[in-house]
Every structure is written in structure tokens, then in C-alpha cells.
Amino acid sequence: MNISISEMKNQICWASKEIYQRGLVNVGEGNISLRVKNRNEMIITPSGNNYLNPLPTNMVHITFEGKVITEGEKPSSEYNLHRIIYEQRSRVNCVIHTHSTYSSILAVQRKALPMIFEEMMVFLGGGVPCSEYALTGTEQLGKNALKAMGKQNAVILANHGSIIVGRSVKHCVFGAQLVEKMAKIYVKSISIGEVFEIPEENLSNLMNRFQEEFSTI
Ligand SMILES: [Zn+2]
């Protein structure tokens, strides 16, 4: 079902408040976008998004080339990251990028988040890989992210943060919370002892559910 541009802007405002209230972003960092279906366009949060009081009129409607279609604020400088994902993964309708604390702890260590909880398979498609480093705002950042993401719905960006993709804004907000919670459990767990991964061969039913409901490939 196609939704209007104004409804998409409302959805980004909702997602902004959700991820801010859950501590996944600070003011001035991270970004959220939604794909405009059947067009090479997206709606994206502005540079320095006001997560506490986001306004639909602040959200920016741009083409994949970065041309502004409707008046808004300056688009996030990381829109290339979003564009590259939309161009390569046709079922992605929402992208959320955060600098949340525990995901970023893994990011600065350039470590992946292993498959430690069953729900990771259902919603993310498994563990969360870590990409190679690239400078913020560059095309290379998006390319590295996409390459590392594989078939999953999330990736940790080396020395930067994380990206979560989803078929809908609700999936994506949930995925962003899940990645941070799992990263927190993992980081705290390895500080007190050994962490055990769940072998993927035990999870074929959950993998089927991921492919049916949440996969963006
Ligand atoms: Zn960033």
C-alpha cells in the first residue's frame, strides 16, 4: 500500500521520538529515512534532527541524486548511505542509522555481534556483521555497509555506529532497539566470561519466519 508523502513525514517524526526516547541517538547524530515507493526518492531527517520535537515540515524529500523536492531543512549529510541501500535492496523501505552506545562499543573494536539470542534470527536474519571503515558522508561508507550486511537487516559500521533496515518503519524501529539491546547483553557478558553463540542449524524454523516476514533481500 502506498502512503502519502505527508504520512511518511509523520512516520519519520514518530520514529525520531521513539529512537530518541529509547536512548539510541543524541541530538545532532543519526538519521532516519523512508523510501518513496516506485520512485528514486526518499524522505530523510534533516541535518541535526530535532528528535525531541520533530516536525513534518523539517523532513526533507529528496531524489537519490540529492536534489531537494520539497522545502525542508538541509538533508542529513549521510543520505548517500541510505540511497545506496535503497538502490541495492528493493524490499528496504526504511533505514535507521544510530550511534547508540553499545553498538558503537563494538564499532570501535570493529567486532561483529554474534548470534546470541533467537530473536536476532527472526528479526535481523542472524548476527550483526561489522563493515570495513570508511569516512562519514562518503559513498564508500554505504558500499562497505551493504557488502558487510550480507542478507541480514543490520550492520555495525566500523568506528561509527550501526544501520538497521526494514520493510516498514515499525520493523526498523524495533530492529534498532533490538540491535542495541543485544549489543549491550554481549558487551556486558564478555566482561564476565564466555559467551556462547546459537548454532544456526538449530534455527531453521526461525530463519523461515525471517525470510517470510522480515527479510529485505
Ligand atoms: Zn553517523
What is the model's pLDDT at position 17?
97
The alpha carbon of 160 and the centre of ligand 1 are apart by a number of angstroms equal to 6
Judged by average pLDDT, the poorest of 84-93, 129-138, 197-206 is 197-206
The alpha carbon of 202 and the centre of ligand 1 are apart by a number of angstroms equal to 35
CA of 208 to the centre of ligand 1 (A): 32
The x, y and z cell numbers of residue 9, run together, are 513525514
Q: What is the pairing mode between strands 60-63 and 41-44?
A: antiparallel
What is the Å distance from ligand 1's center to 161 Cα?
6
Q: What is the whole-number distance in angstroms between the Cα of residue 79 and the centre of ligand 1?
A: 10
Q: Residues of 157-183 as b/e, b for ≥16 C-beta within 10 angstroms?
A: bbebbbbbbbbebebbbbbbbbbbbbb
Please give the tally of structural domains in the chain. 1
Q: How many Å lie between the centroid of ligand 1 and the Cα of residue 84?
A: 15
CB atoms < 10 A from the CB of 88, how many?
14
Residue 174 alpha carbon to ligand 1 centre in Å: 19
Q: What number is the average pLDDT over the span 32-60?
A: 95
pLDDT score for 28: 86
Please report, for the domain that includes residue 167, its CATH number: 3.40.225.10
Q: How confident is the model at residue 109 (pLDDT cuts 50, 70, 90)?
A: very high
Where does the pLDDT of residue 1 fall: very low under 50, low under 70, confident under 90, or very high at 90 and above?
A: low
Q: Kindly report the average pLDDT of the chain as a whole number.
A: 95
> DSSP of 139-157, one letter per residue?
HHHHHHHHHHHTTSSEEEE
The mean pLDDT of 39-56, rounded to a whole number, is 94
Which residues form the domain of 35? 5-214
Whether the model pTM is above 0.95: yes
**Residue 200: which pLDDT band, with cuts at 50, 70 and 90?**
confident
